[in-house]
Amino acid sequence: MVAQILEFLRELEHNNNRDWFQKNKARYDVLHKGHMEIVQQLINRIALFDPDIAGVEVKECLFRIYRDIRFSPNKLPYKTHFGAYIAARGGRNSERSGYYLHLEPDNCFMSGGVWMPQPKLLKKLRQDIYDHIDEFVGILENPSFKELYPALEGETLKRTPAGFPPDFEHEEIIRHKDFCVSASKPDRFFYAKDWIEQAADCYERLLPFTRFLNYSVDEYSGSAFQ
């Protein structure tokens, strides 16, 4: 099914217009249903090592293929990838760290973490990381984790944020605006019969990272910190 999804997306990349999409809508509907089944399998498998994921609904996790072009200079109407974010308390709309799957020709990856948190949550995450830096660095530097997820990704501030000492040993971590990691995968990864199990292994290695971040997110959500 993933091979068919990637082939459809390759064609869509060269025919990103409503006429072509409408002619291929029935084909898209079949692939969308197949994508839902894939994500459900991942939910079931991830829930075995992360019980928070049990009961997450597929429909909450999937991103629409239709682009919001109202305020974008890019007026192409469709995304050229299939995306799904598996996370408790809202799926794709959750503030919690979860498990993301990105299917795009020659640009497939799996990732996790907290992306674009609200300013007050970002402040909370930075403070908790600062207060427990040895634990956080230990997670990032664990060989099993680092093998797949070599470094934090995303935008960073040019300077140390206010409230933190500029001579802090790991101030480059505190400068991050997101706390995410990702593992790129070649298209052929998804052609293996056991790719779901291999993907589950990749996601399981995220668990210490996810739990660390979610402790802060949950504390933030349930406190007067907001």
pLDDT higher than 90, residue 51: yes
In this predicted model, what pLDDT tens digit does every residue of 65-106 receive, in sequence order? Answer: 998 877 777 789 999 999 999 999 999 999 999 999 999 999
Tell whether 93 is covered by a domain. yes
Tell whether 226 is covered by a domain. no
Separation of alpha carbons 91 and 69, rounded Å: 23
Separation of alpha carbons 177 and 11, rounded Å: 35
Tell whether 194 is covered by a domain. yes
How many structural domains are present in the chain? 1
pLDDT higher than 70, residue 175: yes
Longest distance between any two alpha carbons in the chain, whole Å:
59
Tell whether 7 is covered by a domain. yes
List phi, psi (to 5°) of 73.
-70, -20
Sequence-distant (6+) residues with CB within 8 A of 55 are 47
Separation of alpha carbons 23 and 25, rounded Å: 6
Tell whether 195 is covered by a domain. yes
What is the residue range of 12's domain? 2-221
Q: In CATH, what number is assigned to the domain containing residue 80?
A: 3.30.930
